[in-house]
Every structure is written in C-alpha cells, then in structure tokens.
Structure 1
Amino acid sequence: MLKTKKLTLEQYLQPFSISAFAISEDESFLIYSSNSNGNYNLWKLELNGSAAPQQLTFHNQKTEAISISSNPMTKETSIFFTSDKDGNENSHLYSVNQNGGNWQDIRTEPQSRYFLGGVSQDGLRLFYTSTKDNPLYLSIFSYDIKSGLEKLLHEGQEAETHLLGMSPNEAEFAYFARTNHSNMKIYGTSNGCAVELVPDAKQEYRVSSLSYISEDIVYFGTNYGHEFTYLAKYDFHTGEFEKVLEILREDIESIKYCSTSGELYIKTKKGPVDRLYSYHLKNHALNDLNLPTDTIQDFLITDSCSVYICGSSARKPVTIFQKQKDKEWLPLLENQVETISEEELVKPELITYPSFDGVEIEAMYYSAKKENSNGHVIVYPHGGHNTTNRFFMMDFSNISFKRGSVFSLLTLGEPLIMALHF
C-alpha cells in the first residue's frame, strides 16, 4: 500500500523572498534582490525568456532599493542599490554593471543611512536622503558620480525629512517633513524657495507619494481634511491646491506617471488588499488593472506604459508580474510551495471585532479544515501606528493551519491607534 509522505516544515519555508526590483530602460532585463539561494543577493533575469536568472552579487546582504541607469553617451549601464550590513539598517549606496562586475562603494559613511531617491537621466548624478551629519532630521543630497562631489540640497530641521521626487529638469525637488505618522507636511522648491503644497493647512495631515508631471505641476496623495488619502494636485505657477480624485474607502499609497499615455498609475490600499488603477489626466477615466495578487510590495511603470509589480497573495508566494499595454498579466518568476497546490493553502477570512470604545478593528481569521482541526486557536496580536497585516503568504499561519490549529491574526492600523495598545 502506498503511503503519502507527510508535509515537512521545510516545504513551507522553501519559497524565496524579494526585497526590491528594477527594470532596464529598454525592458530587456530585470534586476531583483532575492534570498533564493539562502542569502540576499542581486539577480538578473533576461526578459526574452531564454535563460535562467543569473546571480550578479555575492555580498549576502538584503537590498532596500535598486535603480538602473544607462549613460546615453557611453551606453554603459549601471545598477545602483542600497544594502545594509547584517541587518544593522545603515543602508549604504553601491553600484555594479549589468553583469555584476565593477563593484563601486559610492556612499558608505560609517553610522549613516542612505535612502536612494533616484538617478539623473544621464546616469551621472544620484539623489538621496541621508542621516549623514543630521541623524535626527535627515538631509537631502545629490552626488556627482564622475567628480565624486556631494552637494547638500536641503537640510532637515525640526522634523524627519525625506525626498519625494525631482522635477523633470532636476532643478527643483519635493520632500515631506514628518513629526509623526499622522502629522506631516509636504513641500516643493520653486526658484530655490520651499513652498508648502497644502497651503494654509489648518489641521494635521499625511502624505504618501508624489509625481512631477511638468516643472509646474505635481500630483500627490494626502488625507488633508479627509479620513482616507486622495489624489491632489498643486500648480507652482498659480499656487493652487486642488483635490482631484477620491476612491471610496481606499488610501492612495503610491503614484507613478507615464508621459507617453498621459496617465497616472495609482496604487491604493483597502484593508488587507491592494488595488492598482490607471487614471487619465485629460479624460479622467479610471481603470482598475485587476491585480493578479492581493498585495503589492512595489510597482514600476516604463516609458511604454508597461506595468511591473512585485506582489503576493495569501496563497501565493511573492513574485514579479508584467502587464504590457492592453494585455494580460504575465508572471516572470516561478515561486511556490513545493508539491503543495494553492488550494491546500489557507486564505484568511476578514472579520471585525469591537474595541472597548466601539471602534471596529479588522482581523484575519485562518480556519483549519474540519478533518485537521485540533480544537486550538493561536491568537497573534500584531500591528502598530503605521502598519497593518495584509493578505500576503505567511509561512507560520499555513504551518499552524495544516497542523490543525485555528489561527487568528489581530491587526491594528493607523486610524485605530487610540483603540487598543498591544
């Protein structure tokens, strides 16, 4: 009689993670940071489908951000990225070429942390936020790769400061100053002077993301005067602030612009799931792109308006998908729990429960099958003032579920910070 082999813990831990990714300008290859061989390193995937991923680095450290830039004069391609050291969170800036060679230590100031903000169109300048010389409030810098000169663009004062974006000609920039996660201010420079993009604000607000459409026009996400984050517009020429688009009970988290089509691509969050839309700035058409995953870690838009996402679902490990204009989503990487079908994994039920003050708090309820149930419930309170748990694949919940436990994951998000303190 044949016996079915018992599923092992290792099978559930087999899927790899992806911490960051980027697409080359011509969309010929993809660079991503993954622990698929046990340690985080950079990998390259040719998008013609003819070869397996190629490992580019062997530094064995997690990468937070990646940017690919091609020098139009030399035609050389550089991969810029930030990695810390053994989880110390002091991310430094490095670069390699597209084959993994010519490693360069770019910004490695001891005890300083660097947040990569972008690369100039000619690939010769980097823009970033750093704790260098200003660990409490942070500052914004540019760095000339050819000369090695670093330039201070803005020194943060009185609140934590982060770069949001550079204008098309890179003469101006936008940033936010954060006192806490519900009290932020957003600024843009105009002729060297900082201008608050929510003029004469009478109450605290949050901001999420910003995209320059031209030298004078920016779109960004804010919840000023509202519960949920909406799309707003600011015109530097007229000084006008305008609410543009609100999506019912969804928070706008990230905005990216495709100049070819004149569309904004908008990622929103609704409870434990994400959605992605295209929004046409002229005819105001809003189109749901029907994501193949429940959540998105990050997404990118190319000049051809192709969309690339890195995301996962409750029963799907993280992977990268491509959607070309007017085509269906295409997975670019294979990542799955070995020998276990998607139907055998658990998808949680979203439930709510009342706090002591009547506020409804969301929770995810993973229910074991009757034939496996052992009558036990694992309660895992988790969350905080700036995060909630989402519908992404969680190894320990599936392991508990398969062994017969009911798993309850209680989440606490920013709007509910006063309801409970775990």
Structure 2
Amino acid sequence: MTTKQYSFERYLNVRSAYGPGFSPDESVLSFLTNITGVAEVWSVSLEDKHIPRPLWPEQLTFRGERVASAAFSPQANELLVAADSGGNELMQLYLLAADGSQLIDLTARPNTMYLFGGWSPDGKRITYSSNERDPRYFDIYERDMASGEVRAMLVQDGSNYAYGYAPDGSKILVSRQNSNVRNQLILIDTISGEERVLVPEISEGAAAHLLPAWSIDRRGLYLLSNRDRQFLSLAYLDLETSQMTYLTDLSWDIELLALTKDGTRMAMVINEDGCSRLELFDVSRGWQERQELRGPVLPRGVVNEVVWSPYGSKLAITLTAADDAMDVWVWDFDHGVIRRTTQSSLGGIPRKALVSPSLIRYPTFDGREIPAFLYLPQSKQRNLGVVINVHGGPEGQTRPIFDPVTQYLVSCGYGVLAPNVRGSTGYGYEYQSLDDVELRMDSVADLRHAALWLTEKGIADPHRLAVMGGSYGGFMVLSAITTYPELWAAAVDIVGIANFVTFLENTGPWRRKLREAEYGSLEQNRAFLEKISPIHAIDRVVAPLFVVHGANDPRVPIGETEQIVSALHQRNVPVEYLRFEDEGHGLIKRANRLVAYPAIANFLAKYLGE
C-alpha cells in the first residue's frame, strides 16, 4: 500500500483550536487558534443551533505574539487576556472588548509575570498572581476593574497561584505550590485579608490538591488529590472541618474536573493509558445520590479541557487525536446535541493519510514494562529507520495527540516510538518517582531498552536509530548519546539541558526551588548533578546532533545549548544549530517552525536514509 507524500509544510499547516470560554449570555464561544501562525483570540456565534457546521469565526486580537488565555467577564462583553512576547513567558494582562475593537494593557511591566486567576462573580474585580515584588516568589493580588486600584491579598515567599473566587466573591481560593507534586489550598478573605490553610503541608510523598470546585451547598470543595495514594482521585473537602474524603478509587488518574457555577453538574475526565474518558453527573443532591448524564458519543481521543457555560446548559470540550486536529466541541444539554464548533484545517492532508499509534509495552532492565506509543508507516513496518521521541517534563506523559513532526516522519517511511519512561505521569506516583534525583539515569536506561526492543522485534534497523526530544526530553537525548553512544545514528535536541548546575543557576528564579525538588539541589547534590550532566561526557558523543533553541527561553536558558554546540565543534562532531531570537521554550511561531522542522527532517534523512 502506498501513500501520497505531502510536504512538511502541509503538516505544519494543520491548525488547532483550544482555550474555550462562553460569553455571559452563552451566545458566543471564545477560543484560541493559530490560524494566523500564532495563537490569537477568536470567537464564534452559538446562537443558531440548526446550522450543522460551525459559523465563520471572528478574529479578536492581532498582536502577532502568543496569547495564553482569554476569559469572558461574567457580566460584560469583555475578556481578560494573558499574553507574552517572543516566547519569554512573562505574561501580561489585557482587557479585550468582545468585538476586538479595543485591547487595553493592564499591567505594562514586561519584565514581570502575571498569571490570571479569575473574575469575581459580579465582574468588578479580578485576581491574579505575580512575582513583581521578588522574581523568586508569586504573591496574590486583586484589581478593581473600574478604578484600577490593586491590592496585595497575600504576600509570602513562596509560589502562590490564584484559582479564583468563591461563588459569593468573598474569598479567593489559592494554591501554594511547595514542590512539583505537593501543594496546599488556602482561602483568603477579601475583606479582612485573613488567610486560612485548608490542607496541611507535608514534606514527603505526593500531596496534590487540584482543580477545586464549590459544591452546591457551598460547604465544601470537590477536588482531585493523590495524597496518601497512587492516583489522582475525586475527593470532597469539608470547609468546616477541613476533612478530606475520597469519593473514587480508580487505577488511573482523574485529570480534569469541572462543575457548573451552581454546583449541580460535574464533568470528570479519566486518563486511561493515555486516552481520555469523559463522565458527566448530576450532583445536585450530592455525590452519593449522583445521576450519570448521558448523551451523544464523543469521538475517542484526548480531552485537554472541559469548560461549563455560565448557566450550565453547555459544555465546551477540547479534543484531539493522533490522526485529527485539536478542536473545540460544544455539548448542548438542552437540545441533546454535540457539535464540533471549531473546524481546524488538516493542511489539505486526507485524514486517512494520518496514522494512529499502537499502545505497546517493552521490558526494561529491572523487569518493568514501559508503556509507549508506536507509529508505523502504512507501507512498510520492518527494518525501518526509527526515531525514539522523548517527552519533556519529566512530569509529563506522551499521549496519542496530533503531532505534525511524528506524522511527517511516518509518512517518510520512518517508525516513531514515543515512550513513557519511568518518571512519567499517568501511571501512579510510584512510577512517577522512579527517576527522582539519584535515580535519574534509570530513565535513560529505559531509552536503551526501547532501542533494543525495536531491534529485537525487527522493527528497527539497528544502524538507523535516532533519539529526539525537547526540554527535559532534550536532556534525555544528550544523556542517551553520551551514555549509550553506540546505539544512535543521529540525535535531535530541542531546548535541552546540558549541564544541571548551570541550568539550576540560570533558570527563571521562580522555577529553581520546584526544579530542585525533582532533580536535586546544588547545595546537597551538586557532585551527582555534575556527574550526570551530558556536558561532562561530551567526549563520548559520536552521533551527529541537530540542536534548536530560542534566545528568550526562561526555563532552559540558551546557554545550555551553546555549551553543547561549542564542545562538539571543538571535537569536530557533526552538529547543526538553529537559534531563534524571537522564541522562548520551544517553537511557537509558524514561520520559525517552517524553518526548523524541515531542516530537522533533512538532517534525519541524511543520517537515517537507507
């Protein structure tokens, strides 16, 4: 079976739509899409339910820079927009008229980060977190939208993020992040400023308390937590006693939770081996008396967001799949229909030309089974050049979502294996912890065994194996080619860590504490971090390397890449390097992606070609 070959540009022209929000009267859906080459705010009417296909949307922002989020006021036709410049992640807040006629800068401090928390129920105030007092810490603020007056609601040397207001607007719910796997929930009284800690701090193990939502009687919070257990589960937190009770006991994470504003309907998304299962309930009489809500079947894929409309009559769902673009679907409960409300282009590529992966598990050095998604060409499936593509994080999970790079490589005849090595999320806290600090290199060993499995099964030509990854995945790439140099014909590192010492010294100051909880600290683990840093084993590299980095990267500063490039140049190892002055942590702008990814494809063709 042969499949027509499409250019890489076609795959990079596949668009996405996400970040849905409803206008106060539920007649308009706002969303973000990269139709213009970078995410901007758009909107589309929901009024005519008899039209089978989406109406033509309206573009509302024209910054030419990434918009991260947009949220309608609960009372007025205006949106609160968060956006950065040049990929620097220093989000600024803007007030956008719903017709796009006006965009007002509310913060105007480009070297400070502002993270939107939510509108007050009456639409007169917003809450947000910011590190304007000290770059290392995030405090909680409230802004009066009419006067512009700003009040500091919580000042503390930590990482405090606003979840939003209580239903009556009298309190702000805050998450204090103590590590990547532990946080506390805090209530702040907006009048007195009194701070109340709802869950105790613990120093070890997992204690995530995520996506809290108010119950119908306002006496408690539904939330997701994995305190004292392996998986994120649905729990109920009694606000009078601060007692938390688990309501579910699944062997998978519940990853998304949303309740209607009145607390009567609940949407819950379960991550089952990387795919999503959406469950809906009427909880107006409490969890024990819940009734499951059924309706049209949603296509199988990965759900990234669930957002209720103001009156709870509609649910917006962001959905994608490996062989389909990311779009927003709206479930209209009153009319019993679900509709794909946005229609992102597939770049002129027939859906049948896109490949869905197989979920496989391969054995590794300690007898564990490592889950992975295997993409194979439709024409030939043995003795292939294969790219092992490693996710970042490390608290992340490869899932079967649309990826233009993967689809293009498969169309070129390569296999792609996307493993969830130890340290990945989605498989329980124990599995997630298997790469912590001094166990770091065990995850790299999992990559070696992926290569061995591919060869043993006859899928991969042992002389045509490449490893590719971004961010922490970039570290995995560099570590793989320095620890197991004999395995790889080529490697691609995108914004990766080369030296843990310089990375921790230079990463955004607000990130260092949380990163040290995962990797180890310079004070206590410096010798080990130096030992495992790929830069100190650069003399072992023999595989040609392609490197990409953005000059504005606040997470993994560009110096990480330039250390590697310089060292390999000195050793005359083939290395190609693309530096983008207007990008940050990864490539956001379509113009830059059109430069970088075809160059990566040419690089791989050079070293993986038959």
TM-score by length of 2: 0.63
Give the alignment's Cα RMSD to 1 decimal. Answer: 2.5
Cα 1:341/1:322, change in 2 over 3 Å:
same
Structure 1: tracts of 5 or more residues without a match: none
In terms of fraction of residues, the more strand-rich structure is 1
Q: State how far apart, in whole Å, the 1-side matches of 2:372 and 2:55 are.
A: 42
Whether contact under 8 Å (1:306, 1:323) holds in the other structure is yes
Larger radius of gyration: 2
Aligned residue for 1:140? 140
The correspondence of residues 80-159 of structure 1 with structure 2, limited to 5 A, is 80-157=80-157, 159=158
**Aligned-residue offset at 1:202:** 8.2
Q: State how far apart, in whole Å, the 2-side matches of 1:60 and 1:332 are.
A: 24
Q: State how far apart, in whole Å, the 2-side matches of 1:267 and 1:397 are.
A: 26
Task: Give the SS at the match of 1:170.
Answer: coil
Matched, 1:17 2:16: yes
Aligned residue for 2:326? 318
Whether contact under 8 Å (1:372, 1:402) holds in the other structure is no
Q: State how far apart, in whole Å, the 2-side matches of 1:264 and 1:387 are.
A: 26
One-letter code of the match for 1:82? A
User: Is the deviation greater in 374-383 or in 296-305?
Assistant: 374-383
Aligned residue for 1:255? 257
The correspondence of residues 141-290 of structure 1 with structure 2, limited to 5 A, is 141-157=141-157, 159-189=158-188, 193-199=194-200, 204=205, 205-213=207-215, 214-246=217-249, 248-259=250-261, 262-281=264-283, 282=285, 283-286=289-292, 290=297
Whether contact under 8 Å (1:383, 1:411) holds in the other structure is no
Q: State how far apart, in whole Å, the 1-side matches of 2:239 and 2:262 are.
A: 23
**Aligned-residue offset at 1:197:** 3.1
Correspondent of 1:345 among 341, 354, 358: 354
Matched, 1:296 2:298: no
**Aligned-residue offset at 1:85:** 0.6
User: Is the deviation greater in 402-411 or in 88-97?
Assistant: 402-411
Q: State how far apart, in whole Å, the 2-side matches of 1:345 and 1:187 are.
A: 46
**Aligned-residue offset at 1:311:** 1.9
**Aligned-residue offset at 1:200:** 7.9
**Aligned-residue offset at 1:285:** 3.4
Task: Give the SS at the match of 1:12.
Answer: helix
Cα 1:20/1:402, change in 2 over 3 Å:
same
**Aligned-residue offset at 1:5:** 7.0
In terms of fraction of residues, the more helix-rich structure is 2
Structure 2: tracts of 5 or more residues without a match: 426-430, 436-441, 445-475, 477-610
Cα 1:95/1:374, change in 2 over 3 Å:
farther
Whether contact under 8 Å (2:307, 2:317) holds in the other structure is yes
Whether contact under 8 Å (2:119, 2:164) holds in the other structure is no
Q: Which has the higher contact order (CA 8 A, sep 6+)?
A: 2
Q: What count of residue pairs does the alignment treat as equivalent?
A: 413
User: Is the deviation greater in 213-222 or in 223-232?
Assistant: 213-222
Cα 1:10/1:176, change in 2 over 3 Å:
same
Whether contact under 8 Å (2:121, 2:169) holds in the other structure is no
Q: State how far apart, in whole Å, the 2-side matches of 1:347 and 1:305 are.
A: 33
Which deviations, in whole Å up to 9, do the C-alpha atoms of 1:233-277 show, x marking residues without a partner?
12222333211223x222122322125571221223233222222
Whether contact under 8 Å (2:363, 2:370) holds in the other structure is yes
Q: State how far apart, in whole Å, the 1-side matches of 2:317 and 2:96 are.
A: 23
Task: Give the SS at the match of 1:388.
Answer: coil
Which deviations, in whole Å up to 9, do the C-alpha atoms of 1:51-86 show, x marking residues without a partner?
511122211121111111154xxxx41111100011
Q: State how far apart, in whole Å, the 1-side matches of 2:198 and 2:293 are.
A: 27
Identity %: 22
Whether contact under 8 Å (2:302, 2:321) holds in the other structure is yes
Matched, 1:307 2:310: no
Aligned residue for 1:28? 27
Q: State how far apart, in whole Å, the 2-side matches of 1:121 and 1:392 are.
A: 35
One-letter code of the match for 1:263? R
User: Is the deviation greater in 254-263 or in 214-223?
Assistant: 254-263
